[in-house]
Amino acid sequence: MNSLSIVTTLIGRELRTAARTRSYYLLGLAVGGILLGLTFGGGGAATGYIPTVVDLLLPLEVLVPIVAVAIGYRAIPSDLDRGEVAMLDTYAVSPATYVGAVYLGRAAVLSAIVGVALLVVGLVVALVAAPDTGVFATHSGVDSPILFGRFLVVTLVFGNALVAVVLLASIVVSTARTAIVAAIAAVLVVVVGGEAAIVLGVLDGVFTETTLQLALGFIPNSAYRGLVFETVIGVLSAGESGYASPLVSAVGLLLWTGGSLGAAAGLLRWRVG
């Protein structure tokens, strides 16, 4: 068996598992309902894509980590509890292959849940936004579905980085029952702790303007916010956002993803033997 077909088989297993898990459908409905409610409640739907993004940015910083925890925390610990990881090890499925495939499968599930919800929101904006406010333009650019598409992609990159963090945290503990605690704690540490550390650093004068921007790029939430400001909202606003450059933020999120998956694979190799 080559690695590609093993990965494909394992991803298919994750997707079929998700497709048969009723709670994921409920989660999708809940996420969609919340985002639509915020879209209508915030008035963004009537004014255009960028106002909608502004309405949804902060709620998504909370909602996406919750979705990441919900779909990621049990995946590997349950397989460990059932002995399936040990069984899979006899099929030449390396820990790295297994972790990578589980990640890709779960990332696809998060992308489906959050992505579909945002697509519906975008569709609603396209249908509901008033003609006179449907085009929102400045000297820098013009409101358009493309900007909303960027927002969607950036949101998924952020969410999938958190899925990797959740997978790593779930392997640290010994059982599926404690995995949810570990996953929530890890997300809180990464999301809240990282920004709190930066605030403290600013108050203590640790950061210069340059190092602060760099540091913001390496905190997932800040990186996400920075990417949204720099590549979506920033198009229509004058001046600098104060966040890291899109490149630094993107690298930051990719490092969280890759680093977490690498550590998860190493930890799993150690646990299985």
Partner 1 sequence: MTDADEATSRGEPTDNDGDTSVVTTTGLTKEYGGRPIFEGVDLDIAPGAMTAVIGPNGIGKTTLLKTLLGHVDPTAGTVTYTGPDVDRPMGYLPQEPAFRPQFTVSETVDFYASLVDAAVDTEELLCEVNLYEARNRRVSALSGGMRRLLAVGQAVLGTPPVVCCDEPASGLDPSMARRVFESLAGRAADGMAVVVASHTLSLVETYADHVVILESGGVAAAGSPTELIERYDAADLWAVYDAVIDPAAGTTPPDEPTAADPQAGDEPATTVGAPRRGDDSSAERDAAASDAISDSGGQP
**Residues in touch with partner 1 (CB under 8 A):** 1, 5-6, 9, 13, 16-17, 20-21, 78-79, 81-84, 86-93, 272-273
**Cα–Cα distance, 231 to 253 (Å, whole number):** 15
Is the CB of 8 or the CB of 133 nearer to partner 1? 8
Question: Closest separation between CB of residue 181 and partner 1, Å?
Answer: 21
Is the CB of 83 or the CB of 239 nearer to partner 1? 83
Is the CB of 65 or the CB of 105 nearer to partner 1? 105
Question: Closest separation between CB of residue 4 and partner 1, Å?
Answer: 13
Is the CB of 23 or the CB of 133 nearer to partner 1? 23
Q: Are 160 and 257 in contact (CB under 8 A)?
A: yes
Question: Closest separation between CB of residue 169 and partner 1, Å?
Answer: 21
Q: Where are the alpha helices (DSSP H) in 90-219?
A: 95-128, 131-134, 145-172, 176-188, 194-203, 209-217
Please report, to the nearest 10 degrees, the dihedral formed by the alpha carbons of residues 170, 252, 53, 73 taken in order: 0
Is the CB of 98 or the CB of 256 nearer to partner 1? 98
Q: Are 51 and 148 in contact (CB under 8 A)?
A: no
Question: Closest separation between CB of residue 6 and partner 1, Å?
Answer: 6
CA separation, residue 272 to residues 80, 102, 170 (Å): 9, 16, 15
Q: Are 100 and 195 in contact (CB under 8 A)?
A: no
Question: Closest separation between CB of residue 88 and partner 1, Å?
Answer: 7
